[in-house]
């Protein structure tokens, strides 16, 4: 097998978005993952989000680690540069790429093995640095690509396909992201497109480290009875705290909402996120409150989803480093090299 491309025969009736692209222009090569794999649904959600946000595909850089999840950047945005790096190290490569050119949108795709085990250090540090990116963990609780070993996000007591029980406590990347200072934290489910697509859109629009934990069942190794990352389990235990209805500048309210059920969150660029509350007293702008809520609900065996935390005045790494507006990769000799006269002066101080 070599390379599979989709025939690029554009149907004339395919609608174009505001930047002149059809949905097909946001797709990539045909997926080689197992039929029914949650990761493919996330790929589709990314395609929809970018199409609907009118993003020019080549303005996105896709980076990933290693794993089935990390393969997916091949399957979306075929006209974007992509980089399949090494296992667990996507965050550092993305950080460097982001430093080099601040004008692109950075999409980092990882798996639970990639981010919660081998790459937990890089995950943590990219959060605390506030790298401007969308960091998606396609979380299936197993190592898909190496054939079904438990990952560090597998819940204690959950069963492997062969019946082994996981005795280790699980790492909750959402809690870690909250604790480490991520400025946008959400959890969703690959099987809930209506919730997932707007969350990805909001994450793209967010300035700073946006972390998405998307539960994404592995049909080959972790979709059985006794797994807490199966389609059935997540559907039965999904505690969605809110849904994003709109992300628009000065959006008009056209739907009727029950009093107190609506929360509008202004973003740094003036765009407004309108959240429909599903849980009465959940406030996604309260980091500590969010952590408390998560701990409580998770203790009760629920999977909390939605926009869990959002900092309206977020900063990013470029802000902390006080870098120039022009991307580093376009700076010229005149802007970078101090010249011989300056060097002479330095020489003079060294005698």
Partner 1 sequence: MVKAITNTNDFVVKFANVNGSGSASANELFARAILRMGVPVSPRNIFPSNIQGLPTWYEVRVNEKGYLGRRGGVDLMVAMNPQTWAQDLRELEPGGYLFFDSSKPLPKSRFRDDVNVIGVPLTEICNSTYTDVRQRQLFKNIIYVGALAALLEMDIPEIEKLFGEQYKGKEKLLGANVKALKLGYDYAKEHLQCPLGIRVQRANNVRDKIFIEGNNAAALGCVYGGATVCAWYPITPSSSLAEAFIRHCQKLRVDPVSGKNRFGIIQAEDELASIGMVVGAGWNGARAFTATSGPGISLMTEFIGLAYFAEIPATIINVQRGGPATGMPTRTQQADITACAYAGHGDSKHVLLFPEDPKECFEMSAQSLDLADRLQTPVFVMTDLDIGMNQRLCDPLKWDDKYQMDRGKVMDYDALEGGKDFGRYLDADGDGIPFRTYPGTHPTKGAYFTRGTTKDRYARYSEEGPVYVDNMQRLLKKFETAKRLVPAAIGRPAKQPTKLGVLYFGSTAPAMNEALDAFDVQGINVDAMRVRGFPFGEEVIEFLEDHEQVFVVEQNRDGQLRSLIMNEAATDGSKLIPILHYDGTPITARFIIGEIAEKVAILKVTPIRKVAN
Ligand X SMILES: Cc1ncc(C[n+]2csc(CCOP(=O)(O)OP(=O)(O)O)c2C)c(N)n1
Residue 342 CA to residue 233 CA, distance in Å, equals 66
Q: Closer to partner 1 at the Cβ: 274 or 318?
A: 318
What 3-state class would DSSP assign to 172? coil
Contact pick of 67, 78, 130, 198 for partner 1 (by CB under 8 A): 78
Residue 213 CA to residue 195 CA, distance in Å, equals 13
Show contacts with partner 1 in window 15-34 (CB under 8 A).
Answer: 29
- Measured CA distances, 336 to 58, 75, 93, 254, 324 (Å): 27, 38, 23, 52, 12
Name the one range near ligand X by CB under 6 A: 48-56, 144-152, 154-162, 310-318.
144-152
Q: Which does 112 bind (CB under 5 to 8 A by kind): partner 1, Mg ion, ligand SF4, none?
A: Mg ion
Cβ neighbours of residue 82 closer than 8 Å, sequence gap 6 or more: 61, 62, 63, 64, 73, 74
Instruction: Provide, rounded to whole angstroms, the least separation between the CB of residue 201 and ligand SF4.
Output: 24
Residue 84 CA to residue 90 CA, distance in Å, equals 8
| Binding track over 200-229 against ligand SF4, x by CB under 6 A | ------------------xxxx--------
Antiparallel, parallel or unpaired: β 271-277 and 242-249: antiparallel
Instruction: Provide, rounded to whole angstroms, the least separation between the CB of residue 2 and ligand X.
Output: 21
Q: Which pair of tokens denotes residue 56? A: 């020019």
In this structure, are residues 248 and 271 in contact, taking their beta carbons and an 8 Å threshold? Answer: yes
Instruction: Provide, rounded to whole angstroms, the least separation between the CB of residue 94 and Mg ion.
Output: 19
Show contacts with ligand X in window 297-316 (CB under 6 A).
Answer: none
Question: Does the footprint of ligand X cover residue 94 (CB under 6 A)?
Answer: no
Q: Which residues pair with 134 in a beta bridge?
A: 107, 210
Q: Closer to ligand SF4 at the Cβ: 39 or 287?
A: 39
Q: Closer to ligand SF4 at the Cβ: 39 or 274?
A: 39
In this structure, are residues 131 and 92 in contact, taking their beta carbons and an 8 Å threshold? Answer: no
Residue nearest to Mg ion (CB): 111
Question: Does the footprint of ligand X cover residue 140 (CB under 6 A)?
Answer: yes
Q: Closer to ligand X at the Cβ: 150 or 184?
A: 150
Q: Please count the other Cβ atoms lying within 10 Å of the Cβ belonging to residue 246.
A: 17
Nearest partner of 267 among 201, 210, 322, 202, judged by Cα? 202
**How many residues sit close enough to ligand X to count as binding (CB under 6 A)?**
17
Contact pick of 80, 140, 222, 230 for Mg ion (by CB under 5 A): 140
The whole-angstrom distance between residue 296's C-alpha and the CA centroid of its chain comes to: 24
Q: Kindly report the CA angle at 93 between 90 and 96, in degrees rounded to 5?
A: 145
Q: Which does 219 bind (CB under 5 to 8 A by kind): ligand SF4, ligand X, partner 1, none?
A: ligand SF4
Report, in angstroms and rounded to the nearest whole number, the Rg of the chain calculated over CA atoms: 21
Q: Closer to partner 1 at the Cβ: 85 or 115?
A: 85
Residue 148 CA to residue 144 CA, distance in Å, equals 5
Q: Closer to ligand X at the Cβ: 143 or 282?
A: 143
Question: Does the footprint of partner 1 cover residue 67 (CB under 8 A)?
Answer: no
Instruction: Provide, rounded to whole angstroms, the least separation between the CB of residue 160 and ligand X.
Output: 13
Question: Does the footprint of partner 1 cover residue 336 (CB under 8 A)?
Answer: yes
Antiparallel, parallel or unpaired: β 238-240 and 303-310: parallel
Question: Does the footprint of ligand X cover residue 212 (CB under 6 A)?
Answer: no
In this structure, are residues 136 and 106 in contact, taking their beta carbons and an 8 Å threshold? Answer: no
Give the residues lining the site for ligand X (CB under 6 A): 66-69, 87, 111-114, 138, 140, 142-146, 151
By CB under 5 A, name the binding residues for Mg ion: 111-113, 140
The footprint of partner 1 (CB under 8 A) covers: 1-3, 29, 56-59, 61, 63, 73-74, 78-86, 89, 91-101, 103-104, 121-122, 124-125, 129, 317-318, 321-325, 327-329, 331, 333, 335-340, 342-344, 346-347, 350-351
């Amino acid at each position: 097998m070599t390379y599979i491309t989709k025939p690029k025969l554009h149907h004339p009736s395919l609608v174009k978005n505001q930047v002149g692209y059809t949905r097909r222009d946001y797709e990539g090569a045909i997926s080689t993952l197992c039929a029914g794999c949650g990761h493919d649904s996330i790929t589709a959600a990314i395609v929809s989000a970018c199409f609907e946000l009118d993003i020019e595909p080549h303005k996105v850089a896709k980076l990933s680690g290693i794993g089935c999840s990390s393969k997916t950047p091949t399957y979306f945005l075929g006209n974007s540069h992509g980089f399949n790096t090494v296992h667990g190290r996507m965050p550092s490569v993305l950080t460097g790429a982001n430093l080099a050119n601040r004008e692109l949108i950075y999409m980092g795709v990882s798996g639970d093995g990639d981010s919660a085990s081998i790459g937990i250090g890089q995950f943590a540090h990219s959060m605390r640095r506030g790298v401007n990116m969308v960091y998606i963990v396609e979380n299936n609780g197993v190592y898909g690509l190496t054939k079904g070993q438990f990952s560090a996000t597998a819940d204690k007591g959950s069963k492997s396909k062969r019946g082994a029980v996981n005795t280790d406590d699980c790492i909750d990347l959402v809690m870690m992201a909250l604790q480490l200072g991520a400025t946008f934290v959400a959890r969703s489910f690959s099987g809930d497109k209506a919730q997932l697509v707007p969350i990805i859109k909001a994450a793209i629009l967010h300035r700073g480290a946006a972390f998405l934990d998307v539960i994404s069942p592995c049909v080959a190794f972790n979709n059985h009875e006794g797994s807490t990352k199966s389609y059935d389990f997540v559907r039965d235990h999904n505690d969605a705290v809110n849904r994003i209805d709109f992300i628009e500048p000065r959006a008009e309210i056209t739907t009727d909402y029950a009093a107190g059920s609506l929360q509008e969150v202004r973003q740094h660029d003036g765009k407004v996120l309108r959240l429909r509350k599903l849980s009465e007293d959940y406030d996604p702008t309260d980091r500590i409150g969010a952590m408390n809520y998560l701990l409580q609900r998770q203790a009760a065996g629920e999977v909390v989803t939605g926009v869990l935390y959002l900092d309206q005045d977020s900063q990013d790494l470029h802000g902390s480093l006080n870098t120039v507006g022009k991307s580093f990769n376009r700076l010229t000799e005149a802007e970078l090299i101090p010249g011989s006269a300056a060097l002479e002066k330095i020489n003079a101080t060294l005698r």
